[in-house]
Structure formats: structure tokens, C-alpha cells
Amino acid sequence: MRIVELTEETRKDLLDHLLKRSPNNYGKFEASVQEIITTVKEKKDEAVFAYTKQFDKVEVTKETIRVTDEEIKEAYEKVDPSLIDVIRKALVNIRSYHEKQRRYSWFDSKPDGSLLGQKVTALKRVGVYVPGGKAVYPSSVLMNIVPAKVAGVEQIIMTTPPGKDGKVNPSTLVAAKEAGVDEVYKVGGAQAIAALAFGTESIPKVDKIVGPGNIYVALAKKAVYGYVSIDSIAGPSEILVLADETANPRYVAADLLSQAEHDEMASAILITTSQKLADEVSKEIDEFLKVLSRSEIIKKSLDQYGFILVAETMEEAIAAANEIASEHLEIVTQNPFGVMTKIQNAGAIFIGEYSSEPLGDYFAGPNHVLPTNGTAKFFSPLSVDDFIKKSSIIYYSKEALEPVHKDIIQFAKSEQLTAHANSIQVRFPQD
């Protein structure tokens, strides 16, 4: 793994290099994605069935596109009971964490006869997209469904591409059922996003679409934004480890590789104040690559987006971490909590050598759907807030409005909006 000195130049070069991974740079796919969306919008089920046959090599019909109770029961029989037990344990932690994020309506009344407030309402129907293919992520199913369920969403619809046997992966189905999904449909790709955004004869239109996917899914979500809400346009996974000379190089190397194995565009970065640690971590990585099953993917990921940066001071290291704004940030230093207070930009922060990133992926409770590609500077992890909307409440009695009505009229006239002013004036014709 390459080791470079952290300077202003190398920091800027790194930031520019990482931005190449952004989904916003994949414009060449937009035309084909838009064609799929337009076709599904116009032809509905007919288009969904045709694209599923074209891309997934599976025939689906109005009768078979929805997963049945029998198929869910069959999935439970195929999944190892010990895995079901682990899913249920993780669910307890995930649900407990998200329940602390609940928002409530509030109202503030005053003696003058005015009342202001905020009414919190859960979204009515949400779509959760779950990728298929070679990788199966039941953990992502939990992370996307649970906050919606806690928020009080009335109906949660899940779409996922079928396998060549026409069925959904059993562990995906079990995770969805345990988390509280209402309906599951066998459709993937951009066509699934279009179906959720506009509705078809079989698949209901939703208010918001969440969940990860490939570049076609990401661009489809971007294209339908405005017709529906979306969570984010997620890029490839990334991890940044901040470490000093006290860190265990074997632990650090293992944690870097835990994200590099996702795909060839994943990013793994170590920023350290110790040249000795940098050298040791690089050696540990070489040893791990000899035994890990996804070593080819990891090697390509590290060759393109893997870096070990050696900083002069921890202050410089922290500044660089804040600039990179990584999806996952691990702090493995002598005083990790002190360093944590100086971190401004990160999706999730893992503190100490026993808080490795997979703990957050699977079990701890906080959501693992996180901002990528530097968007942690202005985006937050998926949460209960993503599944609610807020309405402002305004009530004034005549007695409350009378003392301020002339102020409002003056403000409206200053903007040359005489109808606005008149709307207030007609209530006080004596003036």
C-alpha cells in the first residue's frame, strides 16, 4: 500500500482523485437510465416485466411479481436458524438506537391568543431498494426498514431483483420480514426505481425511495428526485483511520481491508503521525492479502484508492480527515475521545481499537447508510428524520393579530405585494 507524506499538495491531489468516484461523474449512463424511466412511466407493468426478462433473465407476471407468504415461509426454512437469531439480536440494537431519534409535534400558545407549533407526520408509503446479484446484504435491509418502521411509516414496499430461479435471496427475505416490511416485489435496477417513483398496475407509487444500488440505480434515483424524495445518491464505500504510534498495526490493516473488499472503487485511507506504524500496517496488509478470499478486488481497490498518509502532527492529520469527510472514520490514538471532539465531518465515527467498522455495519445500532464522497460535510446518516415531514402550525386570534397587522401591511407593501397587504387590511376596515 503506497505511503506518502501528507502535504498541502498531496492532500489536494488525494481529494481530486477521490472525487472521480462520485456517481455525478457517470453521465455516460444517464441516457440509458432515462430511457428506462420514461418507458416504465408510460408502459408500467409491461415495461417492468420486459426489463426484468432482459436484464435478470426471469419471466415475471402480475401474478408472480409480488413475493407471497409461502415464499417467505420457504425462505425461513432455507436460512440457518443461528443467522436468524443474529438478525433478531441486531434488530434489538438497531431499533433501540433509532427509537431515540423520534420527533414529536409541539405547540406553543401565548396569552395574546396566538399559537405556533410544528406537526410531525410520518410519510405514508416508502420504497426500499435492495440490490441482488452476487452480493447479498441483509444488514442493509434492516438499516433501511427499521428507521421507517420506527418513524411510523404506514406502508413499506421493498423491491429487489430476482435470482435466475425467479426467487428472492432467502436471507434478504427473512431480514425484511423480521424488520417489518409490508410488501416485496421481484424487480431490480433502474426499472424498479421508476416503478416506485411513478407506480404501475402492480407496484404502488411511494413518497420516498431509500436503499443502495449500482450506478444505474443511483442515477435513476437522481432522475426521479422531485417526483419522489430520495435518501441520497451513494458512492462507493470508504474508510479513513486516524492513528498514532499507540495503534495496533494488525488491527488497523484489518480495518482498512474490511472496506476495500466491497468493490474495486472502494477507498481505504490511513492518516498517521507515525512512520513506523505506516510501514508496519503496509506489511500487515501484504500478509492479509495472501489469505483473504476477495484479495483480487482488494488489491485493485488499494491500487486505485488506497493511501497511507504520514502527517507531521495530529492537528494536520485531523484537518485532512475533516477535508476528506469520510463515510467511516476510525480513531485509534492515545486520546481518541479528545480527537473525536475535533472531528467535524464524518458519516460515522468509531472510537478506540475495539470499535472496528464492521461493528457498525452489523450490530451496534447506529445506521450504516452513510454519506460518501465528501458529502458528510453536509449530509447525515439515514435516520428516523428521513421518514417524517414537518408542517408549521399558525393560529392568531383577532386580538393577537390586531397589534401587529399594520407591521405586516407595511412589509407587504415594501415588496409591492398589494394583495398580500389587502389580505390583512380587510380584517381591519376601520383603519
Catalytic residue positions? 327-328
CA atoms of 250 and 258, how far apart (whole Å): 12
Q: Which residues neighbour 59 within 8 Å (Cβ) at sequence distance 6 or greater?
A: 49, 52, 53, 166
CA 302 to chain centre: 23
What is the tally of helices (H) and strands (E) in the chain?
Answer: 18, 14
| C-alpha gyration radius of the chain | 26
Q: Is the dihedral of CA 202, 207, 212, 213 positive or negative?
A: positive
Give strand pairing partners of 199. Answer: none
CB 175 within 8 A of CB 87: yes
DSSP 3-state assignment of 5?
strand
Hey, how many other C-beta atoms are within 10 angstroms of the C-beta on 287? 11
CA atoms of 198 and 105, how far apart (whole Å): 30
CA atoms of 58 and 226, how far apart (whole Å): 31
| φ and ψ of 23, to 5 deg | -60, -20
C-alpha cell at 224: 426521479
Which residue, among 205, 202, 174, has the nearest Cα to 187 in the 3D structure?
Answer: 202
Provide DSSP, 63-109: TTSBPPHHHHHHHHHHS-HHHHHHHHHHHHHHHHHHHTT----EEEE
Which residue, among 314, 389, 385, has the nearest Cα to 98 in the 3D structure?
Answer: 385
CA 392 to chain centre: 27
Cβ-defined contacts of 49-52 (< 8 Å, 24+): 51/189, 51/191, 52/161, 52/162, 52/186, 52/187, 52/188, 52/191
How far, CA to CA in Å, does 372 sit from each of 21, 267, 276, 369? Answer: 10, 10, 30, 9
